[in-house]
Amino acid sequence: GESVGLHLPTLSVQEGDNSIINCAYSNSASDYFIWYKQESGKGPQFIIDIRSNMDKRQGQRVTVLLNKTVKHLSLQIAATQPGDSAVYFCAESSGNTPLVFGKGTRLSVIA
């Protein structure tokens, strides 16, 4: 997925349903992962983060799951609302390396 973009993977979800947005990463040394939400014309907004010593972390209506074996990260949004429509980015870093953003996913909520 990617930014406010033209050819993003798109996930369409009915309002009230749960959403799952997936992200694969390639650097096995990555030890910090973060999800951002970006609405059109705005900067990325922090949602939730997780470190590699955990495999699950919950926030308000959101859960991040980390599977280090297959290098996979997911963001689950419960009871998706129209205001959740945006582009979602995962990002990773390792040690002293800067954040590397994945290609975003556009979430469209159908009312």
Rounded to whole angstroms, the Cα distance separating 39 from 93 reads 23
Cα distances from 102 to residues 1, 21, 23, 41, in angstroms, run 7, 12, 7, 19
Question: In the bound complex, what is the minimum distance in angstroms from residue 3's beta carbon to another protein?
Answer: 5
Rounded to whole angstroms, the Cα distance separating 24 from 72 reads 5
Please identify, using beta-carbon distances, which residue of 83 and 95 lies nearer to another protein: 95
**What does the binding site for another protein look like in residue numbers (CB under 8 A)?**
2-8, 32, 34, 36, 42-46, 49, 89, 91, 96-104
Question: In the bound complex, what is the minimum distance in angstroms from residue 62's beta carbon to another protein?
Answer: 15
Please identify, using beta-carbon distances, which residue of 61 and 103 lies nearer to another protein: 103
Question: In the bound complex, what is the minimum distance in angstroms from residue 44's beta carbon to another protein?
Answer: 5
* Phi, psi at 82, each rounded to 5°: -55, -35
Please identify, using beta-carbon distances, which residue of 6 and 70 lies nearer to another protein: 6
| CB contact at 8 A, 14 and 110 | yes
Please identify, using beta-carbon distances, which residue of 5 and 16 lies nearer to another protein: 5
Question: In the bound complex, what is the minimum distance in angstroms from residue 79's beta carbon to another protein?
Answer: 25
Q: Which of 109, 110, 111, 103 is nearest to 4 (CA)?
A: 103
